[in-house]
Amino acid sequence: MVIYRAKNYKELSRKAANIICAQVILKPNCVLGLATGSSPVGIYKQLIDWYKKGDLDFSRVSSINLDEYRGLGPDNEQSYRYFMNTNLFNHVNIDKARTYVPNGLEPDPEKACLDYDRIIEKSGGIDLQLLGLGHNGHIGFNEPSHVFPRGTHCVDLAPSTIEANKRFFSSEADVPRQAYTMGIRSIMQAKKIVVVVSGEDKAEILRQVIRGPITPDVPASVLQLHTDVVIVADEAALSQM
Ligand code: F6R
């Protein structure tokens, strides 16, 4: 694991955006695994800025997002598809037909998950997977459990995740209770993984991810087994190391 210590969120975003930028320049038809949430917002802003300056070209890039709330469609402002469109895709020259997010409106979980695994497989594999880190150690919506789930699956969100994500909804009752998420196997099969972690509230879980035992109780701890992981974190998030 390579750990990059950034002074603050701004520097963290720029550093992680630099790594993604290098990936797109080196392999213009790469497959990016993308994340939502507050951690990557600064990265996406930076990528848009570089695109507008003519330094980046997304025309041949494909993207596969980690997860989507079950029951939310692309027009719902809280859906992850909506997030990706408004925070990145609408502002760069990516072909939206090659941007994938699990279909939150598919009522049959088995079908939704199988369809998504097929998309991942057909893409030929993720070149670079961007991850945020949940307060309970989740990556994607792979919540603490007694196993590492392999493929895309429908998950019951942990109470702590519902609590953490209620800030994006008008009330906690509005937070969907389930999501479709890429599994740990698909994440671990990415050639390169970049994890962005910001803030003191993530310091204790980040310490467990990097220094603790590898256990599905802390899903992100499995990243210790990947051969090409960069953790880009700010000083606050690294304060317990
Ligand atoms: C988002 C995702 C989640 C978030 C995590 C951290 O697509 O899969 O794992 O990355 O919950 O969220 P933030 O960045 O909002 O703290």
CB atoms within 10 A of CB 127: 20
Residue nearest ligand 1's atom 5 by CA: 134
Q: Is the CB of 66 under 6 A from ligand 1?
A: yes
CA of 53 to the centre of ligand 1 (A): 28
Q: What pLDDT shows up at residue 154?
A: 98
SS3 200: helix
What is the bridge-based pairing of β-strands 62-65 and 2-6?
unpaired
Cβ of 219 less than 6 Å from ligand 1: no
pLDDT in tens, 118-132: 999 999 999 999 999
Q: What is the pLDDT of residue 21?
A: 98
pLDDT reported for residue 236: 98
Mean pLDDT of the chain: 97
Structural tokens at position 152: 């895309």
Q: What is the distance between the alpha carbons of residues 66 and 139, in angstroms, rounded to a whole number?
A: 9
Q: Is 235 left (phi over 0), alpha (psi -120 to 50) or beta?
A: alpha
Amino acid 161 reads T
Q: What is the CA(161)–ligand 1 centre distance, in A?
A: 9
Q: Determine the distance separating the centroid of ligand 1 and the alpha carbon of 140, expressed in angstroms.
A: 7
- Please state, in angstroms and rounded to a whole number, the distance separating the CA atoms of residues 73 and 83: 11
Q: How do residues 98-108 score in pLDDT, each as one tens digit?
A: 999 999 999 99
Helix (H) or strand (E) holding 232: strand 229-234
Q: Which tokens in the block code for residue 31?
A: 């497959």
Q: pLDDT of 10-31, one tens digit each?
A: 999 999 999 999 999 999 999 9
Q: Out of 38, 81, 133, give the residue to mutate to test ligand 1, the one with the largest number of ligand atoms within 8 Å of its CB.
A: 133
